[in-house]
Amino acid sequence: MRAFLKVVLFFIFLSSLQAEKVSEIANVIGVRENQLIGYGLVVGLNGTGDGSSSKFTLQSLSNMLQTVNVKISSDDIKSKNVAAVMVTAKLPAFARQGDKVNVSISSIGDAKSLEGGTLILTPLKGVDGKIYALSQGAITIGGMNGKGGGTKNHTTVGTIFSGAIIERELNYDLYNKNYAELSLKDSNFKTAISIQDGLNKYFDDKVAIATDPRTIKLAKPSNVSMVEFLAKTLEVEVSFDKEEKIIIDERTGTVVSGINIKVDPVVITHGEITIKVHPSNNAEIGQENVNMKDGVDIGVNENLLNMQDGKITVANLTRALHKLGAKPKDIISILQNIKRAGAIRAKLEVI
């Protein structure tokens, strides 16, 4: 395949209206993960640690040695087997003391690699400054290290699986609560009302009320606990009006689109490409237009795109532009301008 055909088009085979579980489209407010962070040292590196220019590493090593009754000035330390790192982890909702979570290790100095290193005891703190976990262990570097072929990965980032032990719990008294709230992952009036009506019908009681397009307040029935109530609530299937989107990654030239996103009649000229999108009329196509496929007709004498059965989509428009030899940046620019002209109604998001 030619280099200029690197646009990748993914088709999402989803109808605009479908049934989804509440758990897929909403979260329980307050039931979430929390971020943890810590500063630590990785030891045991084979000369690939921080150099003498990373003064904070040498000072941290000096401070750490003093905790084990070894007093030495940071100016006297010449080792390159140590690296300063940031340690991050996620504290799951309802995590209990003794639970273990994965941690990510990232170098912050000039270390060449963390491969073969061991993180020494590092406290992990929350945004409130309290210690919630302690991390320590051997670091795993995924993939190959660039030797002996293969793709070279970033060896200054690693993981310790189950490398942190939870020491402090977040108190959340869910059992004794009578009220809870749901937050939609995407704000939508219709979906909020659909969840409200679906839950009230399922429980045969007025247990839910939508207070805005993103929030649904819940009142627990008297005959069930809050845990049981939320478990049943999250499993209820409701009608879900999924918002149609076109996602464009300008860096890689990737276009992600729903399969049925319609393009209205429009005429656009971009460089040497002229596109006319209009309702198909078989009498007008003629014998010269022999490249009919996916409802798109590409004329020989002009870049003419006809709608078959009165409809053309972003999917077959993009395929047609491939055949015309359009480069990724050209296809992205054309889609953006068609959106500006109002011929594409779906939301277009550039990342």
* This prediction's pTM: 0.67
Is residue 346 over pLDDT 90?
A: no
By 3-state DSSP, what share of the chain in percent is helix, strand and coil, each rounded to 5? 20, 35, 45
Alpha-carbon span 257 to 77, nearest angstrom: 56
When mean pLDDT is compared across 122-126, 256-260, 275-279, 302-306, the lowest value belongs to 302-306
- Mean pLDDT for 251-269 is 78
DSSP, residue by residue, 27-58 = EETT---EEEEEEEEEE--SS-S--TT-HHHH
Mean pLDDT to the nearest integer, 100-125: 95
Cα–Cα distance for residue pair 248/252, rounded to 1 Å: 9
Structure-model confidence comparison of residues 47 and 54, the more confident one: 47
Which residues lie below 8 Å from residue 248, measured CB to CB, with a gap of 6+?
254, 255, 256, 332, 335, 336, 348, 349, 350, 351
What pLDDT score does 201 carry? Answer: 94
| pLDDT value of position 241 | 72
Pairing relationship of beta strands 304-307 and 273-279 according to DSSP bridges = parallel
Highest mean pLDDT among 17-31, 177-191, 261-275, 289-303: 177-191
For residues 324 and 307, the model is more confident at: 324
Q: In the prediction, which pLDDT does 339 show? A: 85
Q: Which CA distances in Å does 66 have to 60, 62, 72, 195?
A: 10, 6, 8, 59
Domains along the sequence of the chain with CATH: 3-7+245-350 (no CATH), 18-31+174-241 (3.30.1360), 34-166 (no CATH)
Strands 245-249 and 347-350, by their bridges, are parallel
Residue 308 in this model has a pLDDT that exceeds 60 = no
Q: Nearest CA to 155 among 64, 61, 85?
A: 85
Residue 275, judged by CB atoms within 10 A of its CB (0-12, 13-18, 19+), counts as buried
Mean pLDDT of all residues belonging to the chain: 81
- DSSP secondary-structure letter at 243? P
Six token digits for residue 187:
């704000």
Give residue 94's pLDDT. 92
Structure tokens at 36: 């943890």
148 pLDDT more than 60: no
- The CA-based angle 193-93-235, given to 5 degrees, is 35
Report the first-to-last Cα separation within the chain, whole angstroms.
Answer: 25
pLDDT of residue 27: 94
Question: What is the distance between the alpha carbons of residues 130 and 89, in angstroms, rounded to a whole number?
Answer: 14
Residue type, 81: N
Supply the pLDDT for residue 144: 43
Could you tell me the pLDDT band of residue 297, with boundaries at 50, 70 and 90? Answer: very low
Residue scoring higher pLDDT (131 or 153): 131
**Residue 280 confidence (pLDDT) above 90:** no
Q: Is-contact 249 7, C-beta < 8 A?
A: no
Strand intervals (E) in the chain: 8-12, 17-21, 26-28, 34-43, 83-91, 100-107, 118-125, 131-138, 157-166, 179-184, 208-210, 215-219, 237-241, 245-249, 254-258, 266-270, 273-279, 304-307, 347-350
Q: Which residue has the higher pLDDT, 150 or 132?
A: 132
Q: What is the pLDDT of residue 200?
A: 95
pLDDT tens column, 199-240: 999 999 999 999 999 999 999 999 899 999 999 999 999 987
The tokens describing 129, both together, are 């400054």
pLDDT higher at 262 or 298: 262
* Region of poorest pLDDT, from 124-138, 250-264, 326-340: 250-264
Segment 154-178 shows an average pLDDT of 92
Q: Which residue has the higher pLDDT, 190 or 313?
A: 190
pLDDT computed for residue 8 by the predictor: 42
The pLDDT value recorded for residue 291 is 45
Which of 72-76, 137-141, 293-297 has the highest mean predicted lDDT (pLDDT)?
Answer: 137-141
Return d(Cα 39, Cα 124) in angstroms, integer. Answer: 8
In this predicted model, which residue has the larger pLDDT, 279 or 134? 134
Q: In what side-by-side order are the strands of the sheet with 208-210? A: 26-28, 179-184, 215-219, 208-210
Between CA 6 and CA 316 the distance in angstroms is 16
